[in-house]
Structure 1
């Protein structure tokens, strides 16, 4: 069987994730890994989840938890999410929420909903590698998203038409983004909404790290600013993707989309066709645990990850040679390094593993065109403060050598 003869053209756009491959290095105990942008499993509220699972199976909810459910998601969980969205400036109801299998599924659905082959997506440069993986299957072109740019919107739309499609959306993470850790200012968020209105495109806001702020003043989500302008969520162009993966636990695969009901209703149809609904048991126990301890648990995460960020920044200040620049995030899990021109992050990784037994993610993977190869991403979420000191010292030694 020649499988290449029957595969869709989109299959050629699907590539292995460099990050997923690098996660295999975590099984090698002598490697200090700053590669995977994953939460520390030691911080999972395992006892609370154990109680929730046991309680569900012991009470009248057991049958419902093991049964098929509605595609929109478990209503009490959607109510809880809607209330939390209200706290960050997004008044909405459960009708504006769809539960997905992690926010990664939300990105896949949104790509499927909006992209035809040859259409153009605007993404930050660099951007979340998983978003590129989700969108690639729908065969788009990519252009750089630069909020506040004075580029002519008619020229941008014409360029997309000449490429064989249309501009469809702008995708970004506004808070402590993956991979750079940077946060978009309020002025830049407002400028992005102006730009999106002039272009007639949607905005996909990835809020995976929304709750992991360690210092600085919170900035309203883009969706909140959009609601202020338009008078209500039903009039907005912004679609917010949230997740419990970075706050409670990623293995349960519970995320959500928040937006106008017109968009949510179309995504529900996709959910029905793809997997019917997210796991009912996961939704019910997530709802119970979130109601029990979400605020206190997130406070613990902020204290722990914030200390690790501080330790890594101090180590970078101490160990990095002249010519290496790095971001100073106010939250999230990542610090972005820019190396001197001519250096290659992928080549450096090979040497780092072989010579110093330290791992990170090369930065070229986060650029839609593979450019800016003299960059790399460090994650501080899973390393102890002692490992951070030692790992950054090893990296500094390699760069100085």
Structure 2
């Protein structure tokens, strides 16, 4: 069988995730890994989930193990709606679809909005998983720089010249993966201005919103959008949330919040794809969120904040001249720009061979494969002492590479 001959053309756009491949290094005990943007498993609320599953099986086992509605478990959607109201987004359960992590939400939104040749506006760099989700629908990418000088007419003309239209802008406005950077209030308002001028939706990826360690909170884009439009049904922002960074990534529970007309279309996709997310998992998340979400996320912020501070301090101590890095106010990542002439992919090979440390080369996060002088570091799974050791090793590798260059 000539499988290559029968694969759809979209398969040419789909590539293995460099991050998923690097995660295999975590099985090597002598490697200090700053590669995976994953929560520390030692911080999972294991006991709370044990109690939740016991409660569910004691009283609602049949419902937990049965098929359910595609929109998602009602009490969980109610809890999310209440939490959305807390951040200035009044809505009801009918504005929410439960997905298998926010990654599935990105896939559904790509399927909903992109026709082959259409343009998606994304950051340079942007979240690798978003590129992976959108790639299957064969878009063209254009560089979105909030606060930049390009206007709507320029974006629209470039999209037409490529044979399509601008369909959406994708951003992670708080402590973005991979850069750790946060959009200012002015940049968020400017992005809304651009979206209104182009008459396109904004996909707001809020995966790290709960993990702010310092600085003043900035309203979500959907919050600002509702203030302009008068309500969620008139808004153009589609908010993607997840419990993966706060409660459990393994249970794969995320959500989309938006106008009912959009949710209804996404529900059809959910029905066609997997009928519904696992009912048992949704029920467990609902139990645990209702019981401990606020104190648990407070503990996460305290722990990760110390690790973030340790990494920034260690970088200042150990990096050679010419290395620059972001200083995030939350999230899990610090973004490094290397001195001119260094390639992070080459540096990774050297780092693994000589110092047994791992990170993610930055080119994976660029739609055009540029950014070879950048890399992403994650501090979420390392103690301050391990971070200090790892940054010392990384500084050694960079100095050696500079001498060799």
Separation in 2, partners of 1:32, 1:148: 37
Q: Deviations over 1:98-152 (max 9, x none)?
A: 0000000000000000001000000011000000000000000000011233323
Number of the residue aligned with 2:149:
150
Confirm or deny: 8 A CA contact 1:88 1:220 kept in the other structure: yes
Number of the residue aligned with 2:182:
183
Separation in 2, partners of 1:296, 1:195: 38
Moved over 4 A (4+): none
Confirm or deny: 8 A CA contact 2:151 2:194 kept in the other structure: no
| Counterpart check, 1:363 vs 2:376 | no
Separation in 1, partners of 2:153, 2:35: 41
Number of the residue aligned with 1:72:
71
- The normalised TM-score by structure 2 is 0.98
Q: Deviations over 1:357-398 (max 9, x none)?
A: 000000000000010100000000001111101000000111
Q: How far did residue 55 of structure 1 move?
A: 1.2
Number of the residue aligned with 2:12:
12
Separation in 1, partners of 2:227, 2:344: 42
Number of the residue aligned with 2:50:
50
Aligned length: 400
Number of the residue aligned with 1:334:
333
Number of the residue aligned with 1:303:
302
SS in 2 for 1:318: helix
Number of the residue aligned with 1:113:
112
Number of the residue aligned with 1:202:
201
Question: Gaps (5+ residues) in structure 1?
Answer: none
Confirm or deny: 8 A CA contact 1:321 1:399 kept in the other structure: yes
Q: How far did residue 154 of structure 1 move?
A: 2.3
Separation in 2, partners of 1:190, 1:153: 14
Query: In structure 2, do the counterparts of structure 1 residues 152 and 188 end up closer, same or farther at CA, with 3 Å as the change threshold?
Result: closer
SS in 2 for 1:170: strand
Number of the residue aligned with 1:94:
93
- The normalised TM-score by structure 1 is 0.99
Q: How far did residue 306 of structure 1 move?
A: 0.2
Separation in 2, partners of 1:180, 1:162: 31
Separation in 1, partners of 2:387, 2:149: 41
Confirm or deny: 8 A CA contact 1:148 1:195 kept in the other structure: no
Number of the residue aligned with 1:35:
35
Q: Deviations over 1:143-181 (max 9, x none)?
A: 001123332322321221121111000001000000000
Q: Deviations over 1:193-246 (max 9, x none)?
A: 001111111100000000000010000000000000000000011000000000
Q: How far did residue 259 of structure 1 move?
A: 0.5
Q: How far did residue 46 of structure 1 move?
A: 0.4
| Counterpart check, 1:400 vs 2:399 | yes
Question: Gaps (5+ residues) in structure 2?
Answer: 401-405
SS in 1 for 2:77: helix
Q: After the TM superposition, which residues 247-396 of structure 1 pair with which residues of structure 2 at under 5 Å, given as runs?
A: 247-396=246-395
Confirm or deny: 8 A CA contact 1:345 1:373 kept in the other structure: yes
Separation in 2, partners of 1:261, 1:94: 10
Confirm or deny: 8 A CA contact 1:337 1:376 kept in the other structure: yes
Separation in 1, partners of 2:177, 2:115: 26
Separation in 1, partners of 2:357, 2:147: 38
Number of the residue aligned with 2:403:
none
SS in 1 for 2:207: coil
Number of the residue aligned with 1:124:
123
